[in-house]
Chain A
Amino acid sequence: MTKSSCLLFLLTFTLVSIGLVAIYSTSAISAEEKYGDSAHFLKRQLMWTGLGLAFMLIAMVTKYELLKVLSKPLLLLSVLLLIMVLLPQFGKEAGGARRWLRLGRFSFQPSEMAKLALILYLSAYLARKQDRVKELWRGLLAPLLVLGVVTGLILLQPDLGTGLLIGMVSLILLFVAGVRIIYLAGIGFSSLPALYLLIFRVPYRQRRILAFLDPWKDPKGAGYQITQSFMALGSGGLDGIGLGESRQKLFYLPAAYTDFIYSIIGEELGFMATAAIVILFLLFIWTGMRIAFRAPDLFGHLLGVGITAAIGGQAIINMGVATGSLPTKGIPLPFISFGGSSLLMNMVGVGLLMNISRHSGVSKLKTKNQK
């Protein structure tokens, strides 16, 4: 294993460990009440972690060239699953959205897989067609159509957060692949009316935006989650009130072990822990990008950037929501929040980054030979 791979694995391991401790601390009481087993969520997350490690290994050792070949079937499979999740006989409805596929006692979120599959597909496509990416019709039409289908299906669930994340990561990939800024701006502007409709025509999203602008105006209503998150973080101060001591997790802060786990970590362990997590993610994206820089070819580079940006971006959105820097969006904190599909896919992503890293030496040899 390369140094970068080692570092990446170590960072992932640390974040997942923090996550497991935090999940037990934040979910024990809810789990005891709901399932009579305080370790209910911890056990599930441990199981997913084991599965994640296995898939990470598979992703790491899969033949590099095979990844390009697999990109299309994987995307097709993802689209299929995204369609399935919308059908009542397969999809599980929760909180007014169909985001989960039932798999016996477990459930799976196809949008998480679609995110990775789309990154894989776009990287392969843009690397293959790198001469034509500057052309609008011959170069950009196909990826934009694919992007439109995937995000469209996700927005139908509805899951605006994941949809936006996928859109942004895709734009980053197009940008890095060399698409003209003016086209990207065009894409951005043309999606504005859709975004307007998606946000300001849906009352609860509109309220969330308004609450984001002034959370203390209605702390019992629209601003509830944000202000509760602030109180959790504020209570923590510099070094926290102690592991397991959180009051806010006692049903004050909703989704304490999923989307708002970061706030509870901040309450129990303080600024020292929240800042440490920011720094761990910072190290993570730097390592991820370092791998991307050293990728053997453009496919590896784009794939590395895409995965790193997806994980980093997701972390920024989640922590941004917890700190009131962004409007409330239900997006888990990578590696830390409870949630199997997200953990599994992020670990596959880490496996892919390690796979790229494995071939970085090859690229050096190649370049040397070419010289």
Chain B
Amino acid sequence: MVTKWHKFRTFLVLFTLTVCFIYLLQRLRQIQLVAGETLAQEARAQHQLNFQLSPRRGNIYDRNGKELAVNVPVDSICAWPKKTRSIEKDVDKLSSILGIPASTLLEKLCSRKSFVYLTRKAEKGKGAQVRNLNLPGVGYLKEVKRFYPKGQLAAHLLGFVDVDGVGLEGLELYYNRYLRGTPGWCQAEKDARGREILPFRSNHAPPTDGCHLVLTIDEVIQHISERELERTFQERKAKGATIVVMNPRTGEILALANRPTFNPNSFKGDEVSSRRNRAITDTFEPGSTFKVITAAAGLEEGIFQLKDKIFCEEGSYRLCGHTIRDVHPHGWLSFKEVIEVSSNIGVVKIGQALQKERLYRYIRAFGFGTKTGADLPGEVKGLIRHPHSWSKLSLGAIPFGQEITVNAVQLATALSAIANGGILMRPMVVDSVLDGEGEVVRKFEPQAVGRVISSRTAKQLTNILVGVVEKGTGKMAGLKEYRVAGKTGTAQKVEEGRYSHTKFISSFMGYLPAGDPEIVILITVDEPRGDYYGAMVAGPTFRRVAEGVMTYLAISKIKN
């Protein structure tokens, strides 16, 4: 029997349930209608996915548009360790494809991360090979890799990039802001596992690709220079070597190379020291090549004429308790002959006549002791002390290139000023910056730093330097077809505070044709074995490079 009491109690139950439902309605109103917008914002924030769209890095070309640095598509082999299943039996196959030990692979594959790279930027095609293995949780991503098609050529100029394509050295570093481009962005929505939901892409801006660099370097001249430098470096079993080829009229560097060198495509395998662009980061005492500067000062100041006689003390000259010696003793020599035979004593006397202040002024005017401003990273300006701190002996050393340090580009630039009729040009490596469509974004014009000596003095110096090659110390650098102006250098290296008698930096610098110079070439060889005279070590290298380059320039002129 259902009594009133039963029904009453049932009614109480129904009432309670109804109250609960009404409470729920109120609760829903509160969440969905009152707090709705706030909660919706919270939800949108967690759904939002922002990601970058990578731009393409700009290429690097030589002055004739030959590719020196480009991008190539590669495959990055990666794995999602949580999705790999019974990988152990297949790891050997993977190991043989990637060339990585199975134990290393297993460690990565069994890590707790949700994503690991097995090989970043492997050769193209490896990705397809890995995919053919059909391993769960192992795959590949398409990426681009920086590639230097000419290998070691101009390695120190170009530099290299890290695995993410950021410039680390050389022009890749110096002009990274042009090369890298501007990343685009994309706003989309993602699911809780972080994957983009394609239909919900809301807004995006495409990336702007990086700009291309056009260098002043000429691939052919660079190649000739590297070939001859390599030969000398090997033959002389030297510790290092550097070559700089410049256009004296513009300051454009046409070629620049160092030994030892590296391959920017696989720079990790090379010694760190081999990656240094010694032409600009290393300074050295120039030795006899510096006599040109002293001579320039003597002539420009009008203290000496070419024919003025200087007594060279028969090879031994005492100065403040120190003896300056010449390799071959001389008596009276003309100003011109002092340079031609490279007499230390003769040059010291020129320096003494100039006195500290004037000599110093010319040294600075030729650009020593300051950065050349070449667009290469890591330039070291060298040490030129102020006359206040020169000792009494300094005038017995600085005039022939001791007690001061310079870098190779400085020396080549200073010689260019003489070849250029007395006007010092700022050295440059980049000719222009092009955007993705090939339009010129920025053009680098040759820049004159200033006049250092008069054109008359420059002509006289050329006259002297032609003499050096024709009848002086630089005969081995002479060419049949062209008159060459040049100067040898054999600098003793400083070892434990004293000048070494076994370690030298042998160098030769010169320009041609002497009447109307087109190229300046500087070669330095660090610690050659056997012969160490600059003329013997660097002279023939200069000649071979000059021959090659002049032939090439003549051919390209005919072509044009």
Contact = CB atoms under 8 A, between A and B. Distances in A.
Contacts of B17: 285, 309, 312-313, 316
B39 A230 contact: yes
Given A176-B6, A293-B10, 13 more contacts: A172-B13, A178-B5, A178-B9, A234-B35, A248-B43, A251-B192, A266-B32, A271-B28, A275-B25, A282-B21, A285-B18, A301-B2, A325-B23
A233 B40 CA distance: 8
17 contacts: A175-B9, A177-B6, A233-B39, A235-B39, A247-B189, A247-B197, A247-B200, A248-B43, A250-B197, A252-B47, A271-B32, A278-B28, A285-B17, A289-B10, A293-B2, A324-B31, A325-B27
A113 B29 CA distance: 35
The 9 closest A-B pairs by CB, nearest first: A234-B39, A250-B191, A251-B192, A231-B43, A271-B32, A252-B192, A235-B40, A237-B36, A323-B27
Contacts of B31: 230, 233-234, 323-324
Interface in A220-273: 230-238, 247-248, 250-252, 266, 270-271
Interface string B179-217: 000000000010111000100100000000000000000
A298 interface: yes
Nearest to B199: A245
A233 B32 contact: yes
A36 interface: no
Contacts of A107: none
B318 to A, nearest CB: 85
B437 interface: no
B24 interface: yes
Interface residues of A, number: 47
A286 B6 CA distance: 16
B14 interface: yes
A317 to B, nearest CB: 9
Contact of B9 (A176, A233, A238, A271): A176
B32 A301 contact: no
Contacts of A232: 43
A323 B28 contact: yes
Interface in A303-331: 305, 309, 312-313, 316, 319-320, 323-325
A341 interface: no
A214 interface: no
Contact of B40 (A234, A250, A274, A305): A234
B33 A237 contact: yes
Nearest to A299: B2
Interface string B14-57: 10011011011101110111011111101110110000000000
A106 to B, nearest CB: 27
A286 B39 CA distance: 34
B2 A295 contact: yes
A297 interface: yes
B498 interface: no
Contact of A237 (B23, B37, B192): B37
Contacts of B25: 275, 278
A316 B24 contact: yes
Contact of A286 (B14, B23, B36, B42): B14
A243 to B, nearest CB: 15
A208 to B, nearest CB: 18
A117 B25 CA distance: 32
A17 interface: no
B7 A293 contact: yes
Contact of A247 (B6, B9, B21, B43): B43
B13 A325 contact: no
Contact of A238 (B7, B33, B38, B189): B33
B366 to A, nearest CB: 67
A325 B14 CA distance: 20
A38 interface: no
Contact of B2 (A236, A286, A297): A297
A358 to B, nearest CB: 17
B1 interface: yes
A269 to B, nearest CB: 11
A270 B32 contact: yes
Contacts of A270: 32
Given A178-B9, A247-B47, A316-B24, A236 B36 contact: yes
B188 to A, nearest CB: 12
Contacts of B13: 172, 175-176, 289, 305, 309
A335 interface: no
A339 B115 CA distance: 35
A36 B2 CA distance: 55
A233 B33 CA distance: 9
A252 B191 contact: yes
Contacts of B36: 233-238
A298 B191 contact: no
A250 B49 CA distance: 14
Contacts of A14: none
A267 to B, nearest CB: 8
A305 to B, nearest CB: 5
A66 to B, nearest CB: 20
Nearest to B15: A289
A324 B6 CA distance: 34
A232 B17 CA distance: 26
